[in-house]
Each structure stands twice: as structure tokens, then as C-alpha cells.
Structure 1
Amino acid sequence: MGENGFYDRLRPRTDFAELVAEDCFAPVPADWLVGVADIVNSTGEIEKGRYKTVNMAGAAVIAAMMNAMQGRAFPFVFGGDGASFAVRQQDAGLARDALAAVRRWAQEAYGLDMRAALVGVSDIRAAGHDLRVARYATSQGVDYAMFSGGGLAWAEARMKAGNFDVPPAPEGTQPDLSGLSCRWANLRAQNGRILSLVVLPAPGGDLSAFAAVAHQVVEIADALNRGGHPVPETGPQAHWPPSGFALEAQARRAGASLLRREIELLGKSLVGWLLFKTGLRVGGFDPGRYTAQVSANADFRKFDDGLKMTLDCDVATCDRIKTVLKAAAATGAIQYGAFEQDEALITCFVPSALHQDHVHFIDGAAGGYARAASQIKSARSKAA
């Protein structure tokens, strides 16, 4: 199972509800490695109003790895204030270099303290956990990895304890973040509120009980228009100047002056804004088709050792979901966090605007997944 084609052979699922069943997931080969990274004190950074910055740093981990892998598929998941991925042993050097470079860059570009670790799948299993993966196709152009087994959560916990550390690269090291952007305006809730959910199995709990709860939540969400998708079917709205251009200029600075990068980015984004406003097709680029693909390719729901969703919800549906989760938590089946806000945000990795394989990471704009996860952490502290 250590052969190169493991991930390529997995059949992408097109029905998200299927992923509740454990038989959709395949064990990751024992000789593979897991990379994990997150922002230290992300809650504090969010309280300073820097969640778009935190999201950009988390997405940078994936961008750096995707560029390092040069188009080869590998499983990854975006977590809001960080990211996780799995790679073959042969790609350990690429992974280590990418994590080290992003750690250094996050500090120098944004003043963020990022942790990172590289953990063997064999270490995860020796500790009594597992790492299993499935593929979920959001569209014909993109599929995302879904993880189960508790292995990612264990790797993240060990990282926070200082184990398996990947030190920052030397000062001035720049990761290749080509394609990383955050030019879209925040997505205003159309149905009342944006609900960020993190639902985890209770430690030592019955996984079938967790699966039943997850299935119920997915069913409720599926009754919403487009399953609660926060990005309109026609795509997000373009604005000029783009709200995140300064963050993108920092990300793509690569040794040049920040002012120069900002001017270049403003010029390019002005051209893009005009194309999106007029719908004019240029050189094979169709603005209407591209924005529809942004919506189709977005990762607003996922499995990452639990269920994570960013939903555009009406009040009644939001309350119904929270009632189900509260009752399940009272029985000891799950732990959960549910954070409400007015907007969602979108961070993008676009290798080429002419192809369908651009990926778009969705989170709540006022804290999203990180805020929901902090509710779980707080509940655990009180229980202890």
C-alpha cells in the first residue's frame, strides 16, 4: 500500500452524505507522513480583527505544498487557522521544506507565530489511532480529501505539545505561494446567518453514535437551498479595490518592495474587475463560467476527524441544528462548537484561471471554525 498511486486510485464520492459511512474511507499507507500546521493563539488574533490574515496563513500551507508537488494529487484539508495534509515518504523533503518556509514567512509577512509538525502514519497507529481518507468531488474539476480515524487530531495535539516539530526556515526564506489569493469580498448571509459548525466524536465514544448525529445534521442542512452553500450559484461578487489585496501582496512579495507588489496587484485586479463587471471574454477566459466554478469548487463542508460545515442558514434551521447537537452532546455522543456570524469569507488557490482545478476555502468571516473549535476546548476545560 506504499505505492505511488494510492490516492489516485481512490474513487471520488459525489454524495456528501455517503461520507458519514466509514466504509467510504481507505487507510493511508503506513509509510506516509502527515503534515500539520496552525497559528498559535489564533483566537487572540481573531479578537484583533485579523481572521482574514489567519485564514490566508492557513491556506498558504496548502498553496506551498501544491506548488511543491507540481500538480501531483495529495490529500489535504483546510482548517481555518491552519491546514493538514498527507504525503508519501518520498515527498517528505518537499513537505518539510514547505512547512519550514511557511512558518518563517507567516512570522515575517504577518507577524503570526505558526506551529508545524511532520508525523509518521506509523506513529499515529502505534499510539492507537488511525488515519483514513476519502475523496469528495464538489464538481467535475475539483475534489477534496476527507479524513477520519482520529489520526489528524492526535498529530495536531502532539504538534501543540512540541513533538515532531518542523523548525522555521532561515530568515528571509520565501515559500512559493503562486496562485494564492483573497480578492473576493466577504459573502453576506442570504438566509439570516452564517453558521460555522465543528462536530467531533466524544473521546472514547461510540463512533456509530457520532455517525448517526452527523447524518442527521447533514440531512437538516441538505433541506436548505443548495445544502446551505454560502457562495451564490453564480459565484461571489467582485469589488475593486479587492478587500484582501494587501494580504495577497504580502504573500506574493518574494523579495520585491511591498508597494510595488501592491501596485501590480491593484492593476491586475482592476482588469479582472472590469471583466467580471462586463462579462467580456478574453483569451479563453469566460468570467461568468469562472465565477460559477468558484461556487461549484468551494469546500463549505468537510470531514476532518469530525464534521465541519459553513452554512448559510435561516434562524429556524440554525436553531434546529443546535438543538440536535445539544441533545447529542448531553448523551456523551459528541462534542461540538457552533458559531454564528453575518458573513463568510473565501480564500483561493488558482493555478490558472483558464482551468477548472482552482480551489476555494470557505470559513466564517468573524472567526468561523476557530471560534467553534474554541467552544469545544472551553467545554473540555470546564469538564476537567
Structure 2
Amino acid sequence: MLTRTPEEARFRYADLPVLARFDDVLDEARFRPVPSGWTIGLCDIVGSTRAIGAGRYRAVNYAAAAVIAAMRNALPDTEIPFVFGGDGASFLLAPGEERVAAPVLSACITFVRERLDLDLRAALIPVRTVREAGHDVRVARYAPSPDVAYAMIRGGGLAWAEAALKGGLNALPAAPPGTEPDLTGLSCRFEASRAQNGLILSLIVVPRAGGDAAALRRTLAAVIGLVQADPRLGRPLPEAGPDLGWRPGAVALRPARGGHLRDLLARGRRLAGALASFLAFRVRLSVPGFSAPTYLRELVANADYRKYDDGLRMTIDATPETARAIEARLAQAEADGLLHYGLVRQGSAVVTCFTPDRLGSGHVHFVDGGEGGYAGAAAQLKRKLGAGAA
């Protein structure tokens, strides 16, 4: 029988108060320490910058979102704190859940290698290990809509764990060939959404060690304020929702290992489902139990396009003037020793969707820039920090 400390018994992520205003993520007092008995699960794509340079940004996004979908499907009755990073993903696991997560992550490594021709690495790192290294893990819940909430994380522990992952700490092995995770509800059928105000801006801002915390908060508040000052700006998806393509998905999967007939049948089912969905969204179908217009409105409202995970991440629709103002503010703060940042301008945004319940409103949608996005911004950061390319 699993024994939990009083701290662990009292802590429930789903019970944390919800932040309704995004700028509340800058308030450290609103974050709660994650118990030391919990575990960080995390993964990233090796060589993501090269893959994106080769035009495979949708595949990179799909691989990262697949890990979140697989974990949600493996623990369907648990609200798992997770963060989508574009070319990777992180999540927090209560005691005992790491035993479920290990085989799921191993299956994802194999799936991504065999079906997407990408190299995924993954690890499980105890929060206790992070604290012993001198860092913390604190979490809050931000709700962009009444139907979903996303985890916001600070304390430096997640960033440390990501670096440890790349160093090989607690690396998980791949599952046997042919093993596949349960990715029910994961899709990538929506077309890229063109910028409505000039450009799509993807940025990552991380604090500089030893910087003035109050000055950093003022800078980040000013950046967020530049976007919030104009109601046209911010959300990178059109108000009516992105267009749905007729193809089964924007990501081409390799045939399943040793399952040619099974794969053909699955492709046939995906094609039939894609055509049915395309027609339903094209005519804005509304029937008992499902409404295409309602789903699209919820998609836009639920979209995960801004977050805080040991730094500010946003993929936003902006005017060129606003983008220049944001970059000028960040460049000055970087020169003042407060932060480091990476920033990518592009013409479109892409979305990867996870709909665990087709009749519910709690579907989640991961937004990234369509021409580099978070991975491109991260590559800029690494060059500044002298860590080399991804």
C-alpha cells in the first residue's frame, strides 16, 4: 500500500485555485510548492531545430502533444499538470503515477522513432532530486476559459530537469519495436492560421540568475500589457476557428511495424473520419450532442497559446509595431542583466488538438508558430547561452 506524507496527502493539483487573469502568473504568491514525493516526467525531440528547418514542425509538435495525450489516456481520472513546449512536454506526477508513466513514455519513444522518424528522449526525475540540486518546483492553474486549466510552473526546477534530461539523467529506454501508446483523441487536421494583424510572434523569456526579480516582473508585465492593450491582438487563431483540412492529418505517419493490413484499415478509418469531420465543419453542422460552431468557439477559447514554465512563453498574433515594441523592451532588459530571450516572427500559427471526449467541452489545443515557433526561439536562447544548437 502506498504511504504518503501529510504534505502529499493534502496536496491535490485539481484543488488549487484557478487564475483567471494571465498576468497573475507573475505573482509568486499564487504558486504552491509541489511535494517532494512527486515526480517530473519530461521529454524532448533530439535535433528539433534541424527537423523544423527541414519543414517538419507539424511532426515535432505532434510528437510532443502525443506524449501528453498518451499520459492523459493512461490516467483518465486524474487532472495531470502538463506543459506543452513545442518540441517537448513536461508533466507532474503524484506518488505511484510514475509507475504508469514509465511504460507510456517508453512506448512514446518507440512510436515517435518508428512512425515519425524522430528521436524522442524521456526521463522521470523526482522533485526531491530537483530540490537537492538547489531548485524548486511550484505550480498554479491558469484557466483561459471556464472549460480547461493549464499548469503554470516556476521555481527553476523544471528548467534544471530539462537540462538534466539532455544530460542523460534517469533516461528511459524505448519500448519493444511495434509498441504504440494510446493516442485516442489526438489530431492534427486543422490548417495553419495566417496572421490577422501582420505576424505571429513566438517568444520565450527566461530569468537571468541573480537578476532583479522586481525589475524582471515589471518587464514581463509590460510585455503582456503591450499585447493586452489592443483587443485585436493576442489570440493567434481566428475568432471563428481555424479551417479544417480534408486530409486525415497534417502529419504523415509511417506504416506500423509488422502491421501492414492493420495500418491500411486504420488509414481507411482515419480517412473516413476526416472526410466526415471536414463536411461537418464545412457546413457548420449542429446535431444533438455535437455542434461544429460550438466546438470551434471552444477551441479558440481553450487554446494554450501563452504560459509560464520557469519563464514566459507566448505565441501571439501581433502587429509589426507591437512586435518591435516587445523586442525593444526585451532587448533592453537583456542588456540590463534581467533576462535572456528568443523570438521568432512568422506568418502563421498551427494547432495540435487533443479531444478526449468528443461530446465534452474540455478539449485542449496546443498552439505553436508555423515556421519555427518555440523550437526556433529556444535555439536562439541556446546560442545566446553558449549551449549550441538543439
Superposed pair shares fold, TM > 0.5? yes
Counterpart of 1:352 (choices 349, 353, 357) is 357
Cα 1:102–1:255 shift into 2, 3 Å:
farther
Q: 1:135 and 2:141 equivalent?
A: yes
Deviations 1:39-91 (A, max 9, x none): 00100111111110000000011001000111310200000001000011211
Q: Unaligned stretches of 5+ in structure 2?
A: 1-6
Deviations 1:237-280 (A, max 9, x none): 22323551634x869x9886433322221211111111112222
1:26/1:133 contact within 8 Å kept: yes
Cα 1:346–1:93 shift into 2, 3 Å:
same
Residue 108 of structure 1 deviates from its aligned partner by 0.8
Q: Secondary structure at 2:344's aligned position in 1?
A: strand
**Which whole-Å CA distance do the structure 1 matches of 2:114 and 2:215 have between them?**
45
**Aligned residue for 1:234?**
240
Counterpart of 1:154 (choices 160, 169, 183) is 160
Superposed CA RMSD in Å reads: 2.0
**TM-score (norm. length: structure 2):** 0.94
Q: 1:189 and 2:190 equivalent?
A: no
**Which whole-Å CA distance do the structure 1 matches of 2:42 and 2:261 have between them?**
29
**Which whole-Å CA distance do the structure 2 matches of 1:85 and 1:214 have between them?**
24
**Aligned residue for 2:15?**
9
Counterpart of 2:93 (choices 87, 90, 99) is 87
Q: Which 4+ residue blocks in structure 1 deviate beyond 2 angstroms? A: 203-210, 224-227, 253-263
**Which whole-Å CA distance do the structure 2 matches of 1:149 and 1:61 have between them?**
23
Counterpart of 1:295 (choices 292, 300, 306) is 300
Letter in 2 for 1:70: P
Q: Secondary structure at 1:246's aligned position in 2?
A: coil
**Which whole-Å CA distance do the structure 2 matches of 1:12 and 1:178 have between them?**
27
Deviations 1:116-142 (A, max 9, x none): 110010110110000000000111110
Cα 1:335–1:84 shift into 2, 3 Å:
same
**Which whole-Å CA distance do the structure 2 matches of 1:297 and 1:349 have between them?**
11
**Aligned residue for 2:3?**
none
* Residue range with higher mean Cα deviation, 234-243 or 83-92: 234-243
1:245/1:265 contact within 8 Å kept: no
Counterpart of 2:176 (choices 139, 152, 170) is 170
**Which whole-Å CA distance do the structure 1 matches of 2:175 and 2:50 have between them?**
25
**Aligned residue for 1:322?**
327
Q: 1:61 and 2:67 equivalent?
A: yes
Cα 1:234–1:267 shift into 2, 3 Å:
same
Letter in 2 for 1:145: A
Counterpart of 1:206 (choices 212, 216, 222) is 212
Cα 1:81–1:382 shift into 2, 3 Å:
closer
Cα 1:169–1:315 shift into 2, 3 Å:
same
**Which whole-Å CA distance do the structure 2 matches of 1:83 and 1:219 have between them?**
27
Q: Secondary structure at 2:286's aligned position in 1?
A: coil
Residue 225 of structure 1 deviates from its aligned partner by 2.7
Cα 1:127–1:256 shift into 2, 3 Å:
farther
Residue 10 of structure 1 deviates from its aligned partner by 0.2
Residue 382 of structure 1 deviates from its aligned partner by 8.6
Deviations 1:196-223 (A, max 9, x none): 0100001332333322211111111112
Residue 345 of structure 1 deviates from its aligned partner by 0.3
Aligned residues: 382
**Which whole-Å CA distance do the structure 1 matches of 2:210 and 2:259 have between them?**
46
Q: 1:280 and 2:292 equivalent?
A: no
1:104/1:171 contact within 8 Å kept: yes
| Mapping 1:71-86, distance limit 5 Å | 71-86=77-92
